[in-house]
């Protein structure tokens, strides 16, 4: 039984905007300024550099999305380009590492801002419990009604734009916009400002999530590419508006010293303490929208792998529940994996096992490296004449690959990078070998039966 197509273009755009604009821009602004030594101009420059990989990556993946509406998103694209073994490796990486680690950290951020809002003692344990509770509510919503979950995603997307617009515009009105152009030779020549790309990439992360629900999107061959093209451009504009507005209003030094409290501080200074609580509510809704988008994509991944027989118990996971129009077992598998990573996040933060980092950074850099293979496929199809136009088939994938290589270069500067690569390689290799072995066994059984 196939799932029904319930999502339209607006929901696709809302999913990308809703997933990307969430915790990152509020959670990482201080990290960006620390990396640029307080330079707003260099912060904006790194936003634009990071956007190269996102915007040109979206334009490139849109070409693959326009060619198919099969379930799986990038799993499908990898399968069509490089075969089922590689597709299984891609799928396992997304299911067991990328999606759940990001979702676990987003849950933690929900808990952190909730503690700020209600004045609860902000221990790591309490933050994780609150975040997990909201995640469970969103999980139930996604299982019970995909249509309502889609409405929630669209509504959360529009709501989350409010603090960005309010703080951004207010900063330009009441701050000193001219200070955004100031940059010293010392700040510019010091190569450390490029390290701001890592927190910015986190803030941009998640744009690929919409492809995971492509089989549930109406007129997917048209709507998915349109969403992949329009959403990242809008996101870049909103990020620059907010980052510059916030920075020129309360000043880079204040943002860097106040850390994750800088959003509440800016809102209180601008609107008063009670209005600041309202901004925190908007931010919590914003981050919850990110969690909802990641969850919608993650819940589909076991099913997308199972219909290709790429997971143990695939025959059971691939069964669609007629009442809820989705695989319940797929949701449960995804939920268990996420809970495991939430526990891992708690342990790593408690014992400071990942200094100045968290589990979400394990997969981000390697995720963009894997995309290079998909970008190259578009370039190859262009050389074969299957994708027309210099921009679509050549310039876009080349720029997308360049963006990914820049992210890889910056990621290599992290002292934990080799450790992260080892984890990613382990997951990818496991997926590849699992499907290869399964095929070998199936071929042997078929040969015996034929004899």
Q: For residue 389, what is the DSSP state?
A: S
Closest CA to 422 of 432, 434, 430: 430
Q: What is the per-residue DSSP string for 105-161?
A: HHHHHHHHHHHHHHT----HHHHHHHHHHHHHHHHHHHHH-HHHHHHHHHHHHHHHH
Q: How many CA atoms lie within 13 A of 230 on its CB side?
A: 13
Structure-block tokens of residue 242: 């907010």
Q: Which domains, from first to last, does the chain contain?
A: 9-450 (1.20.1740.10)
Structure-block tokens of residue 278: 């309202």
Tens of pLDDT along the chain (451 residues) come to 455 555 677 777 777 777 777 666 776 788 888 888 888 888 888 888 887 777 888 888 888 877 877 767 788 999 999 999 999 999 999 999 999 998 998 889 889 889 988 888 889 999 999 988 988 888 888 787 666 766 766 677 777 788 888 888 988 898 878 777 777 666 666 556 777 777 777 677 767 765 655 556 677 667 777 777 778 788 888 889 989 998 888 888 888 888 767 877 888 888 787 777 887 888 888 788 778 878 888 898 999 999 999 999 999 999 998 887 789 999 999 999 999 999 999 999 999 898 767 898 888 889 889 999 999 999 999 999 999 889 889 999 999 998 888 888 878 878 899 999 999 999 999 999 999 988 775 555 544 445 5
Q: State the first-to-last Cα distance of the chain, in angstroms, to the nearest integer.
A: 34
Give the Cα separation of 208 and 61 in Å (integer): 9
Specify the length of the chain in residues.
451
Q: What is the largest CA-CA distance in the chain?
A: 82
**Residues facing 217 on adjacent strands:** 7
The pTM of the full predicted model, rounded to 2 decimals, is 0.81
């Amino acid at each position: 039984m196939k799932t029904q197509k319930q999502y339209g273009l607006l929901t696709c755009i809302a999913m990308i905007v809703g997933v990307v604009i969430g915790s990152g821009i509020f959670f990482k602004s201080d990290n960006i300024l620390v990396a640029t030594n307080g330079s707003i101009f260099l912060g904006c420059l790194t936003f634009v550099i990071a956007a190269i990989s996102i915007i040109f990556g979206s334009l490139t993946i849109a070409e693959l999305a326009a060619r198919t509406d099969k379930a799986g998103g990038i799993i499908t694209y990898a399968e069509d380009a490089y075969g089922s073994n590689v597709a299984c490796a891609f799928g396992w990486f997304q299911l067991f590492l990328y999606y759940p680690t990001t979702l676990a950290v987003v849950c933690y951020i929900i808990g952190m801002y909730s503690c700020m809002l209600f004045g609860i003692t902000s221990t790591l344990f309490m933050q994780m419990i609150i975040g997990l509770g909201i995640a469970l509510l969103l999980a139930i919503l996604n299982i019970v009604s995909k249509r309502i979950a889609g409405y929630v995603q669209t509504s959360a997307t529009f709501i989350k734009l409010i603090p960005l617009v309010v703080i951004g515009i207010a900063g330009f009105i009441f701050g000193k916009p001219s200070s955004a152009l100031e940059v010293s030779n010392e700040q510019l020549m010091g190569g450390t400002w490029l390290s701001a790309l890592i927190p910015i990439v986190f803030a941009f992360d998640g744009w690929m999530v919409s492809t995971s629900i492509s089989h549930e999107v109406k007129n997917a061959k048209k709507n998915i590419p349109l969403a992949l093209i329009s959403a990242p451009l809008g996101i870049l504009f909103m990020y620059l508006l907010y980052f510059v507005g916030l920075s020129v209003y309360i000043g880079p030094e204040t943002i860097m010293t106040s850390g994750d409290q800088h959003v509440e501080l800016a809102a209180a200074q601008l609107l008063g303490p009670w209005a600041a609580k309202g901004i925190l509510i908007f931010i919590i809704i914003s981050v919850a929208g990110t969690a909802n988008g990641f969850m919608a994509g993650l819940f589909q991944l076991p099913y997308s792998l199972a219909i290709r027989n790429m997971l143990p118990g695939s025959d059971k996971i691939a069964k669609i529940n007629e009442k809820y129009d989705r695989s319940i077992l797929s949701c449960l598998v995804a939920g268990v994996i996420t809970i495991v990573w939430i526990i891992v996040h708690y342990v790593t933060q408690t014992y400071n096992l990942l200094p100045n980092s968290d589990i979400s950074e394990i997969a981000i850099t390697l995720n963009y490296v894997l995309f290079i293979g998909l970008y190259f496929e578009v370039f190859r199809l262009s050389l074969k004449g299957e994708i027309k136009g210099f921009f679509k088939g050549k310039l876009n994938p080349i720029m997308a690959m360049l963006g990914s290589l820049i992210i890889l270069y910056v990621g290599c500067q992290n002292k934990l990078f080799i450790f992260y690569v080892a984890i990613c390689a382990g997951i990818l290799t496991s997926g590849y070998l699992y499907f290869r072995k399964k095929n070998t066994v199936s071929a042997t059984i078929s040969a015996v039966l034929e004899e």
